Amino acid sequence: MSNKRLTLAQNFFKSPALVRNLVAASTIGQTDTVVEIGPGAGIITQALAGVAQRVVAIEKDPVLVRQLRGRFRHAGHVEIIEGDFLEKSPPLRNYKIFANIPFNLTAKIMQKIIDTPHPPAEAYLVMQKEAAQKFAGSPHETQFSILAKPWFDLQMIHNFQREDFDPIPNVEAVFLQIKKRGPPLVAAQDAPIYQKFVQYGFGGWRKSLRLTYKPFFTYHQWKRLWQDLQFPAEATPTQLSFEQWLGLFACFTEHVPDTKQKLIFK
């Protein structure tokens, strides 16, 4: 293993059988194009090549790129691209992602997947459990999860043993599934104001959402909200479920005039 791979804090699978089981647990099939991030020696690439119509593996280590191109030289449906996934646009529009990513790049890779103009239909990522809980909003919602969930469903679908990897990580790892919703739960024209509304709620210095959103809702409106949506009157941002956040935002867009929104969110 090169020193560069070590600096990326990447932990590789030991068992090809485990990888095949993970691929089988996904929805990747004979009509799919799948992008793999950081294929390393190609243990995942091999499993994907057995089920997908096309595999595009993006690897930044030139030594590994040469090895991978040699290994898959007879597999016409496998393309090895040299480069950094974080610096590249998706090579296609209808695709899925499957990857065991470097733990120290998890946040950047997740943001790239969520923010790209043409996100994958699905993504399957091996990552640190603590990070996956933040992204999936489990056991409590986070700003990231509330911002992402109108457009994506995020679920942890497998817990790994530390001994599944080499080197053995000093943290727990899980398999996170990210599915693009269709249609989204927030309309495209409302997306910018939804983002500002959620960030305002999580960024407020006051101890409760009632006080944070006081410029928008009267006491009687807030009382009706907490009763109808069934959350505590003095709830904090992480105490609301995603569905309760959607209800809160729906009331906001219905009852708060655009002029007042722009004044607060300037």
Q: Where are the beta strands (DSSP E) in 60-117?
A: 78-82, 96-100
Class of domain 188-264: mainly alpha
Q: What is the pLDDT of residues 5-32, one digit of tens each?
A: 444 557 999 999 999 999 999 999 999 9
* Torsion angle defined by CA atoms of residues 140, 141, 142 and 143, in that order, rounded to the nearest 10 degrees: -160
Instruction: Judge contact between 165 and 14, C-beta under 8 A.
Output: yes
Q: Could you tell me the residue ranges of all domains in the chain? A: 3-180, 188-264
Q: What is the pLDDT of residues 134-182, one digit of tens each?
A: 999 999 999 999 999 999 999 999 999 999 999 999 999 999 999 999 9
Question: H or E segment at 135?
Answer: helix 129-136
Q: What is the pLDDT of residues 82-140, one digit of tens each?
A: 999 999 887 677 999 999 999 999 999 999 999 998 999 999 999 999 999 999 999 99
Q: Please give the CATH topology (third level) of the domain spanning 3-180.
A: Rossmann fold (3.40.50)
pTM of the shown model: 0.92
Instruction: Judge contact between 36 and 71, C-beta under 8 A.
Output: no
Instruction: Compute the average pLDDT of residues 54-80.
Output: 97
| Per-residue pLDDT band at 261 (split at 50, 70, 90) | confident
